[in-house]
Structure 1
């Protein structure tokens, strides 16, 4: 059941009324939340629910063991084995088996290795990361183990189950067992976030997908170099509108339920370098990779070269987390190399650069590097990505003076003016929150209805739900 479907809207309205009729009991609210979360998982696949239930029990038992023997090496090893086993079985089995068979074939050994046919459970990548935060926090003596019902809700909490954000155990469990009665948090902001999500997902993301992106990425050979470059720009905008729109949506839903989710986006295309980009893009994942991968590998504590190697390994793991494909590995490697090059540049170039236009040039260069990497992220195969790059290599002056060239210029100007447009949007948002709350839903409802009416038919999908 999609969060953007009419069925979900009606179900959530009924759930909302029942949920807050139990406001006198946090325990009953939690039980209802857990039932709703499990019901949502079951609506996708009963097998997904069975996997989640089994995984929850394993994490609970590991948590009790870690609490009894905190900080022990075998406790961390068991956490690592649990995560790797789940990812291998459900996501990477076919990828690694195919690689092994290819390596053996190149050595003259023809063998057919067995592959278990299993579906990827919904939300696996996110609740696995949630469990890592929980188990590592117990091992570090930062928190005690949770009861089984509280842990189950933490792992299954439906607003962040499908595609994040990545929650931290200490932050989320404190909200599952609050010290006072829950309340709806910032209702006007919650409504505004949901309205913004509708605009981003129904209007911006869906239109870009059908008009600029999907047709070109499916058959790049049938399009001009300018149209291929426009599709790359379009995907850069599309994935931001889609993922940040999803984050806006679930953040608003969580606020209505009395929960705060972590920030996940902060104007990423206003970044002046890759390091700043990753401080603004998918923030919850970036911080997770930093705290649970990069720093445990040694961070930058052992010199520049080891620090850059750790950074590259962390980004490769980030790429592989997105999917079992050479394209995702290349995407992660590009960002790892880019981060290393940026870090090296800080030793020879003044920071920040003060010459006129330096900020604009830095933002445009960062955006184009990120857009270049997105080609590998979006393309189905490595061959498709290379076809896209070969097509862009045919850009000509004549082509840039075409109608498509004008759209390319508009796209670049949009990135150039992005901070100013963002400031204007924030001013408008602040102005709307000053409306009396009784009148706030009326113009908002009319606006959302008009946006949906003017948008593409069908319910938009969530790109990160597939990860």
Structure 2
């Protein structure tokens, strides 16, 4: 069941009424939340629910073990085996088996290795990350083990189950077992975020996908170089509108239920370098990779070269997490190499650079590097990515004077003026959230209905739900 479907909207209204009719008991609210979360998972697949239930039991047992023997190596090893075992079984088995078979075949050995036919359960990537935060926190003695009900709700909490954000155990469990009764948090802002999500997902993301992106990425050879480049720009905007729109939606839903989710986006295309970009893009995942991959690998504590190697490994893991393909590995490697190059440049160039136009040039360079990496992220395979690059390589100056060329210049101008546009829009959104409550339901309902009516037909999907 999609969060943007009419069925979900009606179900949530009913759930909302029942949920707050139990406002006198946090425990009953938690039971209802858990039941709703499991029902959502089951609506996608009963097997997904069975995997989630089994995974929750294993995490609970590992939490008890970690609490009894905190900080022991075997505790961390069991956590690693659980997470990597599930990822291998459900996400990477076919990729690694195929790669091994290919390597053996090239060496002259024709071997057919068995592959279990299993579908990846919905939300696995995110509740696995949530379990890492929980188990590591216990092993570090930062918290005690949770009750089975609290842990189950922490792993299955439906607003952040399908595509994040990545929650931290201490932050989320404190809201699951609060010291006082819950209340709706910032209702005007919550509804404003949901309305903003509808605009981003139904209008911006869906339109870009159908008009600029999907047709070109499917058959790049059938389009002009300018159209290929426009599709790359379009996807750069599309994935931001899609993912940040989803984050706005679930953040608003969580606020209506009395929960705060972590920030996940902060104007990423205003970044002046890749380090700043990753401090603004998918923030919860970036911090997770930093705290649970990069720093445990050694961070930058063992010199510049080892620090850059750790950063490259962390980004490769981030790429592989997104999907088991060469394209995602290349995407992660591009960001790892880009971060290393930026770090090296800070030893040579003065920081910050103060020459006229330095900030604008840095933002445009960062955006185009990120957009270049998105080609591998979006393309179905490496051959398609090469076709996209070949198309862009055929750009000519005369082509920029076409109608498509003007759209390309408009995209560059949009990126150039992005900070100024944000400076105008953010106060307007903040002011709208301060309006009296009675001004919200009817105008907001009319606005959302108009946006949906004017948008592409069908319910837009969430890109990150597939990861």
Partner of 1:355: 355
Counterparts of 1:240-255 in structure 2 under 5 Å? 240-255=240-255
User: 1:379 offset after TM fit, Å?
Assistant: 0.1
Counterparts of 1:347-386 in structure 2 under 5 Å? 347-386=347-386
Partner of 1:56: 56
Counterparts of 1:115-130 in structure 2 under 5 Å? 115-130=115-130
1:24 aligns with 2:24: yes
For the residues of structure 1 that align with 2:382 and 2:297, how far apart are their CA atoms? 29
For the residues of structure 2 that align with 1:52 and 1:443, how far apart are their CA atoms? 40
For the residues of structure 2 that align with 1:433 and 1:69, how far apart are their CA atoms? 48
For the residues of structure 1 that align with 2:442 and 2:420, how far apart are their CA atoms? 29
For the residues of structure 2 that align with 1:149 and 1:301, how far apart are their CA atoms? 40
Partner of 1:327: 327
Partner of 1:155: 155
For the residues of structure 2 that align with 1:458 and 1:268, how far apart are their CA atoms? 28
For the residues of structure 1 that align with 2:155 and 2:161, how far apart are their CA atoms? 8
Tell me the secondary structure at the aligned position of residue 231 of structure 1. Answer: helix
Counterparts of 1:134-149 in structure 2 under 5 Å? 134-149=134-149
For the residues of structure 1 that align with 2:295 and 2:383, how far apart are their CA atoms? 35
User: 1:131 offset after TM fit, Å?
Assistant: 0.1
Tell me the secondary structure at the aligned position of residue 438 of structure 1. Answer: helix
Counterparts of 1:263-342 in structure 2 under 5 Å? 263-342=263-342
For the residues of structure 2 that align with 1:178 and 1:38, how far apart are their CA atoms? 22
With normalisation by structure 2, the TM-score equals 1.00
Partner of 1:414: 414
- Number of residues paired by the alignment? 467
Tell me the secondary structure at the aligned position of residue 163 of structure 2. Answer: coil
Partner of 2:389: 389
For the residues of structure 1 that align with 2:139 and 2:371, how far apart are their CA atoms? 39
For the residues of structure 1 that align with 2:67 and 2:431, how far apart are their CA atoms? 49
Partner of 1:427: 427
Structure 2 unaligned regions, length at least 5: none
Structure 1 unaligned regions, length at least 5: none
For the residues of structure 1 that align with 2:370 and 2:312, how far apart are their CA atoms? 16
Partner of 1:111: 111
For the residues of structure 2 that align with 1:257 and 1:454, how far apart are their CA atoms? 30
User: 1:264 offset after TM fit, Å?
Assistant: 0.1
Tell me the secondary structure at the aligned position of residue 118 of structure 1. Answer: coil
For the residues of structure 1 that align with 2:121 and 2:163, how far apart are their CA atoms? 12
Partner of 1:188: 188
User: 1:431 offset after TM fit, Å?
Assistant: 1.9
User: 1:102 offset after TM fit, Å?
Assistant: 0.7
User: 1:437 offset after TM fit, Å?
Assistant: 1.1
Tell me the secondary structure at the aligned position of residue 437 of structure 2. Answer: coil
1:291-324 CA-to-partner distances (Å, cap 9, x unmatched) read: 0000000000000000000000000000000000
For the residues of structure 2 that align with 1:444 and 1:103, how far apart are their CA atoms? 57
User: 1:216 offset after TM fit, Å?
Assistant: 0.0
Partner of 1:211: 211
User: 1:278 offset after TM fit, Å?
Assistant: 0.0
1:347-374 CA-to-partner distances (Å, cap 9, x unmatched) read: 0000000001000000000000000000
User: 1:287 offset after TM fit, Å?
Assistant: 0.0
Partner of 1:452: 452
For the residues of structure 2 that align with 1:301 and 1:41, how far apart are their CA atoms? 42
User: 1:433 offset after TM fit, Å?
Assistant: 2.1
8 Å Cα contact 2:188-2:434 kept in structure 1: no
Partner of 2:46: 46
User: 1:444 offset after TM fit, Å?
Assistant: 1.7
8 Å Cα contact 2:316-2:333 kept in structure 1: yes
1:374-431 CA-to-partner distances (Å, cap 9, x unmatched) read: 0000000000000000000000011110000000000000000001111111111122
Partner of 2:101: 101
For the residues of structure 2 that align with 1:459 and 1:58, how far apart are their CA atoms? 36
User: 1:251 offset after TM fit, Å?
Assistant: 0.2
With normalisation by structure 1, the TM-score equals 1.00
1:232-279 CA-to-partner distances (Å, cap 9, x unmatched) read: 000000000000000000000000000000000000000000000000
User: 1:434 offset after TM fit, Å?
Assistant: 2.7
8 Å Cα contact 2:190-2:253 kept in structure 1: yes
User: 1:93 offset after TM fit, Å?
Assistant: 0.1
1:40-89 CA-to-partner distances (Å, cap 9, x unmatched) read: 00000000000000000000000000000000000000000001100000
